[in-house]
Structure 1
Amino acid sequence: MIPYENLKTLNHPFEEQLKNKFALFLDKGWYILGAEVALFEREFADYHQEKYVVGVANGLDALILSLQCCGFKRGDEVIVPSNTYIATILSIIHCGLVPVLVEPDSSTYNIDPKAILQSLTEKTVAIMVVHLYGQCCEMDPIMEIAVHHQLKVIEDCAQAHGAKYKNKLAGTFGDFGAFSFYPTKNLGALGDAGAIICKSETDYLKLKQLRNYGSEKKYHNGVIGYNSRLDELQASFLRIKLPHLDEINRHKRKLASVYNAYLNDSFIKPREDTDFYSVYHIYNILHPERDKLKHYLLENNIVTEIHYPVAPQDQPALKGYLTGYDYPISAKIHQRTLSLPCSFIHTEDEIFHVIEILNKF
């Protein structure tokens, strides 16, 4: 059986370090917002050649706090891709803002800059881009739009740790870069965890307040805040794995290159472009008989996933927010996409076997 992912195997190379970190954590007796969080924030900032990083509880909170930091008015509009994971849209709704869904480019699955322009209104205040599957959005035209129309840019980098566009890292283009360190991510914790890259000291200080009940000083609350602190233990685990992020990304890129080279043309594969350094958090293909293909692979002991089986506009939770709109490009992607094994745990031989089975379909 070739699994889609196996977290126990994934973390096995780090097992002794993780156990040692836990023993130190237990012995130290400091569990919330301690030295490990501060050190991880510094190291994650250094990796991105940025100055300000704030650790938070998870990726959704990273998006929510980024929006809250902007001080938008209730009812303001935020442009967001129509084929994203629901968390991106939930962050907008939780902040009392209106999600305006925009179709992706059918060749990249990322938000289409031309479609952004067509969706601007006098209420538009921000663009929330999503670097889906580990490939950056086309950020030059997006940033040009944002600057020209004085819009904030929030990057959802949950799947793009170490991804680049024109040699610039995801999360460093806009006003905020929001990251999730969910265990399956290229940089994954052993539980929920997140972080925000921001550009200004003012936003940095406000985010630190927002994550901690709105408090800058203990028992003194300057703003309406949240309880969204990066866990000290998870920060220590992330510090172990961060130095290996580039190695993990290179391995996944190698596996993806095997798929790209040997998978036959009956499958639509990810587009390759020299402007983009994709880290393949997800290696997805499109096929018109996706469900039949998934079942066929499982019969041949190959486990796959679907990211994502239900489009946002079809989610019952969002029916009151996204009514009256049609998103045909997004719908097609959701109906046809299939995610293939492409993990740090997989070998090239395993990927060649997956390809052999796929090409017989």
Structure 2
Amino acid sequence: MRIPMVDLVAQYRDLQPQLEPAFLSALNAAQFILGPNVQAFEKEAADYLGVAHAITCANGTDALHLALLAADIGPGDEVITTPFTFIATAEAIAYVGAKAVFVDIDPRTFNIDVEQTRRAITSKTKALLPVHLFGQPADLAPLMALAQEHRLQLVEDCAQSFGADIGGRKTGAMGDVAAFSFFPSKNLGCYGDGGMVTTQSDAMAEKLRMLRNHGSKVRYYHDIIGYNSRLDELQAVVLRAKMPLIDRYNQERRRVAHRYNAGLAGLNVQTPYEDGVGLHVYHQYTLLTDDRAAIQQALTAQQIASAVYYPVPLHQQKVFASIASGASFPVTESVAERCLSLPIYPELSNEAIDEVCGVIRQALKA
């Protein structure tokens, strides 16, 4: 595409003078597993997010899985979450033998609905798992109160929200435990798969470090059943290079989003909502429209990318038929039918944004 969803080549060119010497240094050091760059990045990430512990792992899905294990979620437990998210959120619940309980979403933020969450709590509920979708922080204050009232674990899915905050506190620093993804297209992304779990709990952190490394604290001595889920040293090099730039990257994403808002004003589309409480960092710029097919066709004709996140809600996925049979979540289903994400990345020029808006405007006129 002439205007892609994300331009990682442009970002690499900006980082190339810094990255290539850092890669060579790491290669010459030959400490590839839990090496010095991994350790340094964990400290830098923890300091930035305002958490006691940041434990890296192989990918975002593993981060969710390990977070739930650290929170002692297991068979017979219920975890309340959203059906409007990437499947990894619910997959991780299934991995630990628990049951995902879906509730509908807020029609403006697309995040989990607090009141419906309250009504879904049962004696089997062990955790709440909100997703900070598309970079918009979920409404955590009432969810934290619910968790405290019912003695539940609050597990944050921060895969799309690195750098977002609520009242100055970063997402990933408010729940009992939180999971991040460093997939290449994320706000903070590496050049492959990568993930991280954050917590303020020393006990959880100790367990997480064992879980990611075969259940071991001392080499060849294994206290629990663990996993092989470690961040690669070369991916840590990439993340360390990008880490000082994350606020700038997020500011540029907000620039792109606000220019889209201005360019699409007056059209029959619903642009993304900012609640004024949490800082939206726009991992995706997702609008709602009844003319999705026509807009996508017009954009494709001009070699402009677009995407639908997510076309099939989790409660309608075949894999969850046994736990969601007959379930209906009207807001989620309506959003899934009308959502459309436009290109967004820090390097996207104002001229390109204006062109995208112009194509949409013409498509809607037609």
TM-score range, shorter chain: over 0.9
CA distance in 1, matches of 2:125, 2:16: 47
Q: In the alignment, what sits opposite 1:266?
A: 268
Q: Check conservation: 1:135, 1:164, Cα contact below 8 A.
A: no
Alignment of 1:246 with 2:214, yes or no, is: no
Q: In the alignment, what sits opposite 1:7?
A: 8
Deviation at 1:116, TM superposition (A): 0.3
SS in 1 for 2:206: helix
The share of aligned pairs that are identical, in percent, is 38
Q: Check conservation: 1:52, 1:204, Cα contact below 8 A.
A: yes
CA distance in 2, matches of 1:271, 1:44: 28
Q: Deviations over 1:316-355 (max 9, x none)?
A: 2222332221122111111111001111221111111111
CA distance in 1, matches of 2:248, 2:360: 27
SS in 2 for 1:127: strand
Greater shift in the superposed pair: 97-106 or 19-28? 19-28
Deviation at 1:210, TM superposition (A): 0.4
Corresponding pairs, count = 361
Q: In the alignment, what sits opposite 1:320?
A: 322
Q: Deviations over 1:179-201 (max 9, x none)?
A: 00000001010000011111111
Q: Deviations over 1:221-271 (max 9, x none)?
A: 001101111111111110000000000000010111111223133110111
Q: Check conservation: 1:32, 1:231, Cα contact below 8 A.
A: yes
The runs of 5 or more residues in structure 1 that have no matched partner are: none
CA distance in 1, matches of 2:340, 2:14: 28
Q: Check conservation: 2:284, 2:341, Cα contact below 8 A.
A: yes
Q: In the alignment, what sits opposite 2:135?
A: 134
Q: Check conservation: 1:182, 1:192, Cα contact below 8 A.
A: yes
Cα root mean square deviation, aligned: 1.1
Q: In the alignment, what sits opposite 2:355?
A: 353
| One-letter code aligned to 1:321 | I
Summarize the alignment of residues 52-63 of structure 1 with structure 2, pairs less than 5 Å apart.
52-63=53-64
Alignment of 1:33 with 2:34, yes or no, is: yes
Q: Check conservation: 1:297, 1:357, Cα contact below 8 A.
A: yes
SS in 1 for 2:37: helix
Q: In the alignment, what sits opposite 1:207?
A: 208
SS in 2 for 1:130: coil
CA distance in 2, matches of 1:156, 1:9: 28
Q: In the alignment, what sits opposite 2:88?
A: 87
Greater shift in the superposed pair: 135-144 or 19-28? 19-28
Q: In the alignment, what sits opposite 1:224?
A: 225
Q: Check conservation: 2:71, 2:177, Cα contact below 8 A.
A: no
Match of 2:296 among 294, 297, 315: 294
Deviation at 1:80, TM superposition (A): 0.4
CA distance in 2, matches of 1:50, 1:269: 33
Alignment of 1:123 with 2:124, yes or no, is: yes
CA distance in 1, matches of 2:326, 2:214: 38
Q: In the alignment, what sits opposite 2:170?
A: 169
SS in 1 for 2:38: helix
Structure 2 length as normaliser, TM-score? 0.96
Structure 1 length as normaliser, TM-score? 0.98
CA distance in 2, matches of 1:326, 1:83: 12
Match of 2:342 among 321, 340, 343: 340
Q: Deviations over 1:36-66 (max 9, x none)?
A: 1110000000101221110111101111001
CA distance in 2, matches of 1:237, 1:301: 30
SS in 1 for 2:178: strand
Q: In the alignment, what sits opposite 1:103?
A: 104
| One-letter code aligned to 1:231 | D
CA distance in 1, matches of 2:118, 2:216: 39
Q: In the alignment, what sits opposite 1:307?
A: 309
Q: Check conservation: 2:93, 2:99, Cα contact below 8 A.
A: yes
Greater shift in the superposed pair: 339-348 or 201-210? 339-348
Q: Check conservation: 1:110, 1:130, Cα contact below 8 A.
A: yes
